[in-house]
């Protein structure tokens, strides 16, 4: 349980707040590259409690600027793309990717007035078919080249959803593996069963739960800190500790990304804070082909905008990610953590809060928090259990032979960590 000030410190997103400043040290995905094209050269963006306009010039350059034209405040998302910038709809002033004013066509010939006008602009980069933005202090940190963003011969797509809740409750869920057998198995089966005729429900429920199709019982969960965040491990009933679910696990990248997948699917679930009560859930999926298969070149990476709600206004829970999103949304816009009761299985959540608090302190002392990159390390491979990496014939890829070791924390240590955290 946190006090109100602690809860605020962890959930606020605007500039000048501790968490808002910490989140500004990281690059955030704001759109698929394919969203900005000749038909749609601009996109309105809300990121870290700021309204911004993303635009693509006719030469292919990309910029992220404040929305209001500094002349008489028309919204620049209505502007017209030109080779070197965007021309305001109202009186034709032009701004480039750095926010410089290049042209004021109705000012007297020879006027230097435009040199005095500059608007706010943030660095953007494109990688893996995604537009990434950095809103932090200069110099910008380096955008990390995570493995799946860089692989050739794969198929990628993006799923994009806007959720009416704070980003941290999405992350709490990623440190809470025990929800799988309840939210996905038990409740998910119930929700899907309710869409069937009444006489089929009992049989459906029995089949879903007996097949363990949607989440086996977890005997234990464990968490390790690593260079970029936390590795999450689970031991499922009937498995030994040599199973990759336990031995390899998968990561949560600090501060707001879950890496997950199995077999030939790899994905990032990135919980992009739009503001204190809205999160852009940016899901980046990569499908690796069967061994030896060469795919045709993919072209633009597709973006699917999934519905979060059913026609009756209730949150959709007819798919696994929808069930997670439902859990986050039904906790309210900002979960009241002053009135929660964390148990032993919430050890990962406690660990993550401790980690965030440590990183806030590091930033406040002038240092770089975890997973901030200052050099380009090239592709960074991340561990993901039971998965076929390109170029490897067995699951686990480069992590296949990882030795067994005890995680930093398991459930039984929850009480101790809880005491440390208080």
Binding interface with ligand FES (CB under 6 A)? 69, 71-72, 74, 88, 90-93
Q: Cβ of residue 37: shortest distance to ligand FES, in angstroms?
A: 24
Q: Shortest approach of Fe ion to residue 322 CB, angstroms?
A: 10
Q: Minimal distance in Å, beta carbon 116 to ligand FES?
A: 15
Give the residue with the Cβ less far from ligand FES, 91 or 225.
91
The residue number with the shortest CB distance to Fe ion is 324
Residue 147's binding partner among ligand FES, Fe ion, none (Cβ under 5 to 8 angstroms by kind) is none
Q: Which does 88 bind (CB under 5 to 8 A by kind): Fe ion, ligand FES, none?
A: ligand FES
Secondary structure (3-state) at 259: strand
DSSP secondary structure code for residue 336 in this structure: -
- Please say which residue, 172 or 324, places its beta carbon nearer to Fe ion: 324
65 CB burial (10 A radius; 0-12, 13-18, 19+): buried
Q: Is 176 in the site for Fe ion (CB under 5 A)?
A: no
Closest separation between CB of residue 175 and Fe ion, Å? Answer: 11
Cα–Cα distance, 114 to 104 (Å, whole number): 6
Minimum CB separation of residue 173 from Fe ion in Å reads: 6
Residue 102 binds which entry of Fe ion, ligand FES, none, CB below 5-8 Å type-dependent: none
Residue 410 forms beta bridges with which residues? 222
Q: Which does 90 bind (CB under 5 to 8 A by kind): ligand FES, Fe ion, none?
A: ligand FES
Cβ neighbors of 43 (< 8 A, separation 6 or more) are: 30, 31, 35, 36, 53, 54, 55, 77
Contact residues for 411 (Cβ-Cβ < 8 A; gap 6+): 220, 221, 344, 345, 347
Question: Least distance in Å: CB of 26 to Fe ion?
Answer: 23
Residue with tokens 């790899």: 266
Sign of CA dihedral 324, 329, 331, 337: positive
On whether the CB atoms of residues 202 and 328 are closer than 8 A, the answer is no
Residue with tokens 């017209």: 80
Separation CA 97–CA 84 (nearest Å):
8
* Nearer Cβ to ligand FES (91/216): 91
Strand-pair category, 302-305 with 155-163: parallel
Stretch that binds Fe ion, among 81-89, 245-253, 316-324, 386-394 (CB under 5 A): 316-324
Residues 97 and 62 sit within 8 Å (Cβ to Cβ)? yes
Interface residue with Fe ion among 181, 324, 346, 385 (CB under 5 A) is 324
Which listed option, ligand FES, Fe ion, none, makes contact with residue 324 (CB within 5 to 8 Å by class)?
A: Fe ion
Helix axes 320-329, 167-174, angle to 10 degrees: 130
Instruction: Tell the smallest beta-carbon distance from residue 273 to ligand FES (Å).
Output: 29
**What is the distance between the alpha carbons of residues 13 and 23, in angstroms, rounded to a whole number?**
7
Residue 88 or 329: which CB sits closer to ligand FES? 88
The CB-of-88 to ligand FES minimum distance in angstroms stands at 3
Q: Which does 91 bind (CB under 5 to 8 A by kind): ligand FES, Fe ion, none?
A: ligand FES
Shortest distance, CB of residue 346 to Fe ion, whole angstroms?
Answer: 15
The beta-strand segments (E) located in 107-146 are 121-122, 124-127, 130-134
69 versus 178: smaller Cβ distance to ligand FES: 69
Which structure tokens are listed for 205? 């429920």
Residue 352 binding partner per list Fe ion, ligand FES, none, with a CB distance cut-off of 5 to 8 Å that depends on partner kind: none
Locus of tokens 């994905």: 267
Tell me whether residue 75 or residue 357 sits nearer to ligand FES (CB atom).
75
Question: What is the Cα–Cα distance from 203 to 153, expressed in whole angstroms?
Answer: 43
Task: Please tell me whether residue 41 adopts helix, strand or coil conformation.
Answer: coil
**Binding at 69: pick from Fe ion, ligand FES, none (beta carbon under 5-8 Å per type):** ligand FES
Instruction: Report the distance separating Cα 180 and Cα 186, nearest Å.
Output: 9
Question: CB-wise, 324 or 385, nearer to Fe ion?
Answer: 324
Of residues 114 and 225, the one with the C-beta less far from ligand FES: 114
**Ramachandran angles phi, psi of 21, nearest 5°:** -70, -40
Question: To the nearest whole angstrom, how small is the minimum distance from the Cβ of residue 226 to Fe ion?
Answer: 21
Instruction: Residue 74: name its binding partner from Fe ion, ligand FES, none (Cβ under 5 to 8 Å by kind).
Output: ligand FES
User: In the complex, which residues of this chain contact Fe ion (CB under 5 A)?
Assistant: 324
């Amino acid at each position: 349980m946190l006090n109100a000030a602690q809860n605020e410190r962890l959930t606020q997103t605007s500039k000048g707040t501790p968490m808002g400043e910490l989140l500004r040290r990281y690059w955030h995905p704001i759109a698929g590259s394919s969203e900005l094209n000749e038909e749609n050269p601009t996109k309105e963006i809300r990121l870290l409690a700021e309204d911004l306009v993303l635009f693509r010039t006719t030469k292919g350059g990309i910029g992220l600027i404040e929305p209001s034209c500094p002349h008489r405040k028309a919204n620049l998302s209505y502007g017209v793309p030109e080779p070197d910038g965007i021309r305001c709809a109202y009186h034709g002033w032009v701004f480039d990717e750095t926010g410089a004013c290049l042209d004021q066509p109705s000012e007297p010939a020879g006027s230097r007035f435009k040199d005095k006008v500059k608007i706010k602009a943030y660095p953007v980069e494109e990688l893996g078919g995604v537009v990434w933005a950095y809103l932090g202090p200069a110099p910008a940190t380096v955008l990390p080249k995570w493995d799946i963003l860089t692989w050739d011969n794969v198929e990628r797509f993006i799923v994009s959803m806007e959720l009416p809740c704070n980003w941290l409750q999405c992350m709490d869920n990623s440190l809470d593996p025990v929800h799988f057998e309840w939210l996905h198995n038990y409740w998910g089966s119930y929700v899907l069963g309710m869409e069937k005729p009444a006489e089929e429900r009992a049989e459906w429920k029995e089949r879903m739960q007996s097949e363990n199709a949607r989440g086996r019982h977890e005997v234990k969960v464990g968490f390790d800190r690593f260079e970029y965040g936390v590795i999450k491990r689970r031991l499922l009933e009937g498995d030994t500790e040599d199973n990759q679910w336990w031995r390899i696990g998968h990561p949560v990248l600090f501060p707001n990304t879950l890496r997950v997948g199995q077999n030939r699917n790899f994905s990032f679930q990135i919980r992009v804070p739009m503001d204190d009560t809205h999160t852009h859930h940016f899901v980046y999926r990569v499908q690796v082909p069967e061994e030896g298969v060469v795919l045709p070149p993919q072209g633009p990476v597709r973006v699917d905008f999934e519905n979060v709600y059913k026609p009756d206004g209730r949150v959709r829970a007819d798919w696994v990610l929808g069930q997670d999103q439902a859990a986050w949304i039904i906790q309210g816009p900002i979960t009241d953590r002053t009135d929660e009761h964390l148990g032993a299985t919430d050890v990962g959540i406690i660990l993550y809060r401790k980690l965030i608090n440590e990183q806030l302190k590091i930033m406040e002392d002038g240092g770089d928090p975890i997973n901030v990159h200052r050099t380009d390390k090239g592709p960074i491979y991340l561990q993901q259990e039971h998965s076929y990496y390109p170029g490897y014939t067995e699951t686990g890829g480069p992590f296949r032979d990882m030795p067994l070791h005890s995680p930093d924390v398991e459930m039984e240590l929850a009480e101790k960590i809880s005491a440390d955290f208080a």
